[in-house]
Amino acid sequence: MASITLSDVRKVYPGGVEAVRGVSLDIADGEMVVLVGPSGCGKSTLLRMIAGLETISAGTVAIGGRVVNELEPAARDIAMVFQNYALYPHMSVRQNLAYGLKNRGTPAAEIARRIDAAAAILEIAPFLDRRPGQLSGGQRQRVAMGRAIVREPAAFLFDEPLSNLDAKLRVQMRVEIRRLQRSLATTSVYVTHDQLEAMTLADRLVVLNGGRIEQVGTPIELYEKP
Ligand code: ADP
Ligand code: ADP
């Protein structure tokens, strides 16, 4: 678990688009912050800079008090959950969950322990020997969550993870993600354009507009005040 501190973070894409124009934000240990705002406001760029998938043009990103600007994604101690699941189709669920840990040299017994724990939390134990193609959308999304959980990262980064699911499943999964995030108490940054999802999930909402923070507050502060 770790705090995340953004200090005057900026992104100028090659070609000159100023996607993020000076964002400063302190995210506390265990807190879930949801980034919302209209399409093109810079949510995804900001998340990708925290993840290390996009270079930072100016400012600093610190995770657990350590500036990570120059670190590769793998060295940042974060796990990302995507809408497209990013599962390997030719591997079983168990192999998908184990893959990244194996590459890091995690001992087999520890891998098994983490997979069992994640499978229990996510209720995917019955599907561990299936391939992703043999799962429903909701089950695949749980496996994608499982891949993040088994890493036991300092922080989770969610990039619109539910946007490919049908409406009913989206509601169910957002409740599950909230429950999971609260019980693991892992610092999380969650990007969505869905206001209801944002309100359900957030400890704190950050509304972006034109690459800048427009508003920050709890769901109650932002939506229920007269
Ligand atoms: P959001 O996630 O809020 O929809 P993005 O972070 O994807 O916003 O995009 C912010 C701005 O940066 C938009 O104007 C978008 O067109 C631009 N942008 C995003 N990715 C790139 C890129 N790879 N190259 C150039 N411009 C980009
Ligand atoms: P895998 O992608 O199968 O987990 P690795 O763990 O070896 O394999 O990761 C390869 C690259 O992808 C590394 O840069 C790693 O940080 C990144 N990566 C893998 N899974 C995630 C994830 N859930 N969140 C963020 N980065 C990830």
- The residue whose C-alpha atom lies closest to atom 7 belonging to ligand 2 is 100
Q: How far is it, in rounded angstroms, from Cα 137 to Cα 196?
A: 21
With CA atoms as reference, report the closest residue to 158 among 2, 20, 34, 29: 34
Please, are residues 155 and 187 in contact by the beta-carbon 8 Å criterion? yes
Q: What is the overall mean pLDDT for the chain?
A: 94
Q: Residues of 13-44 as b/e, b for ≥16 C-beta within 10 angstroms?
A: eeeeeebbbebebebeebbbbbbbbeeebbbb
- CA 42–ligand 1 middle distance (angstroms): 6
pLDDT score, position 60: 98
| Residue in 53, 82, 99 to alter for ligand 2 test, most ligand atoms within 8 A of Cβ | 99
Residues with CB under 6 A from ligand 1: 13, 15, 17, 19, 37, 39-45
- Answering whether pTM is above 0.90, one says no
Q: Tokens 């590769």 correspond to what residue?
A: 72
Q: How far is it, in rounded angstroms, from Cα 55 to Cα 63?
A: 16
Atom number in ligand 2 closest to CA 151: 23
- The residue whose C-alpha atom lies closest to atom 22 belonging to ligand 1 is 13
**Among the bound ligands, the one closest to the CA of 39:** 1
- The residue whose C-alpha atom lies closest to atom 13 belonging to ligand 2 is 74
Q: What is the CA radius of gyration of the chain?
A: 17
Atom number in ligand 2 closest to CA 81: 23
- The residue whose C-alpha atom lies closest to atom 3 belonging to ligand 2 is 100
pLDDT score, position 84: 73
205 pLDDT higher than 70: yes
Atom number in ligand 1 closest to CA 20: 10
* Residues paired with 34 in a beta bridge: 190, 205
**Average pLDDT rounded to a whole number, residues 90-108:** 95
Please, are residues 3 and 27 in contact by the beta-carbon 8 Å criterion? yes
Looking at this predicted complex, what is its ipTM?
0.75
Does ligand 2 have an atom closer than 6 angstroms to the CB of 147?
Answer: yes
Backbone angles phi, psi at 21, to 5 degrees: -120, 50
226 pLDDT higher than 60: no
For 13-41, write each residue's pLDDT tens digit: 999 999 999 999 999 999 999 999 999 99
Q: What angle do CA 47, 49, 171 make, to 5 degrees?
A: 10
